[in-house]
Homo-oligomer: A and B are copies of this chain.
Amino acid sequence: MFHRIAILGVGLIGASFARAARKQGLCRHIAGYGRNTENLRRALDMGIIDSFEADPAAACDAADLVLLSSPVGSFIDLAGKIAPGLKKGAVVTDAGSVKGNLVSGIEDLMPSGAHYIGAHPIAGSDRSGIDASHDELFRNALCIITPTIRSDKASLDTVIALWEKIGCRVERMDPFRHDRVFAAVSHMPHVVAFALVNVLHDLDEGFMEYAGQGFRDTTRIAASSPEIWRDISISNRDNLLEMMRAVRREFEIIIRHLETGDAAALEEAFRKAQKLRQEIG
């Protein structure tokens, strides 16, 4: 399918993508780029990548597919650095959790003959790094593809086929709709989980030892990478702010019910949530 794939950011997602692409026989050579040379050397030793470069443009030299899989805050900088050297017909995709304006920002940087198609595979977990990577990470994962009116049709087909080949169920979505949806179902819950852990600790350090399965589940995603979630929060901050303010409003209502001892209102809110939560399984 490709001769040479360049993976910019060899972490959980980038390394899992490389492993899945190799398993599916999608290319002959996988080049890696990242800021941490030690990590790249380990990825090379583990057979995840075939070579690595200290410069992103060098990693993309002669690549017909480029994956941006570093924290989303680095995408514009990386796209700018690799753009001049992209070969004719090169396709650039990504695995970022934010789309919106980033998509047109990257599109703007593409040279003539090279094309960017945004993608967001809903995979990954609270774990990060190449040691958590595996070639089936994307199996049955939803992958949102965010084409625009500027998207090259052939490149779009290529990117859809690529993500499907490594196991994803592909769905197209407007980049701005994407950011609202994932601010609500993913970005806001992550920020809430981070906040709950800090609140618990700051209230009383001794509380944490009594954390049971409920607290563990509720805050599992707070073990996620701070850099990744800093970038997502900043890149999608308008939507995230909307969702956080909505949570704050809901909290105000619950706090008021508690203050007035309104058992019926609390039960009604809990019953509504129980029904909705049971529906998603």
Q: Can you report 14 A-B residue pairs in the complex whose CB atoms are below 8 A from each other?
A: A122-B210, A184-B204, A185-B207, A186-B212, A189-B214, A195-B251, A203-B246, A222-B276, A226-B271, A229-B270, A233-B258, A241-B255, A244-B255, A251-B251
Interface size class of A (residues with CB under 8 A): 35 or more
Q: A197-B273, A201-B272 given; name 7 further pairs at CB < 8 Å.
A: A125-B213, A185-B208, A194-B269, A208-B280, A217-B217, A224-B274, A234-B261
Chain B neighbourhood of A24, CB < 8 A: none
Looking across the interface, which residue of chain B has its beta carbon closest to that of A213?
Answer: B125
Looking across the interface, which residue of chain B has its beta carbon closest to that of A122?
Answer: B212
Contact A251 B259 (CB under 8 A): no
How close is A177's CB to chain B, nearest CB, in angstroms?
9
Given contacts A182-B210, A210-B185, A258-B237, A250 and B215 within 8 Å (CB-CB):
no
Contact A226 B192 (CB under 8 A): no
Contact A215 B189 (CB under 8 A): yes
Chain B neighbourhood of A251, CB < 8 A: 195, 244, 247-248, 251
Within 8 A of B (CB), among A198-244: 198-204, 206-208, 210-227, 229-231, 233-234, 237, 240-241, 243-244
A78 within 8 A of B: no
Contact B230 A244 (CB under 8 A): no
In angstroms, Cα B183 to Cα A200, docked, is: 10
In angstroms, Cα B112 to Cα A43, docked, is: 72
A245 within 8 A of B: yes
A191 within 8 A of B: yes
Across the interface, A199 reaches (CB within 8 A) one of B234, B243, B258, B280, namely B243
Across the interface, A247 reaches (CB within 8 A) one of B184, B195, B207, B278, namely B195
Write out, one digit per residue, whether chain A residues 52-95 have a CB within 8 A of any chain B CB (1) or not (0).
Answer: 00000000000000000000010000000000000000000000
Across the interface, A230 reaches (CB within 8 A) one of B142, B207, B220, B270, namely B270
Chain B neighbourhood of A132, CB < 8 A: none
Contact B193 A250 (CB under 8 A): no
Contact A244 B270 (CB under 8 A): no
Contact B197 A267 (CB under 8 A): no
Contact B248 A248 (CB under 8 A): yes
How close is A203's CB to chain B, nearest CB, in angstroms?
6
Chain B neighbourhood of A247, CB < 8 A: 195-196, 199, 251
Looking across the interface, which residue of chain B has its beta carbon closest to that of A200?
Answer: B184
Chain B neighbourhood of A266, CB < 8 A: 229-230, 233-234
How close is A235's CB to chain B, nearest CB, in angstroms?
10
Given contacts A199-B250, A266-B230, A223 and B277 within 8 Å (CB-CB):
yes
5 smallest beta-carbon distances between A and B, as pairs = A226-B270, A230-B267, A194-B273, A197-B273, A226-B271
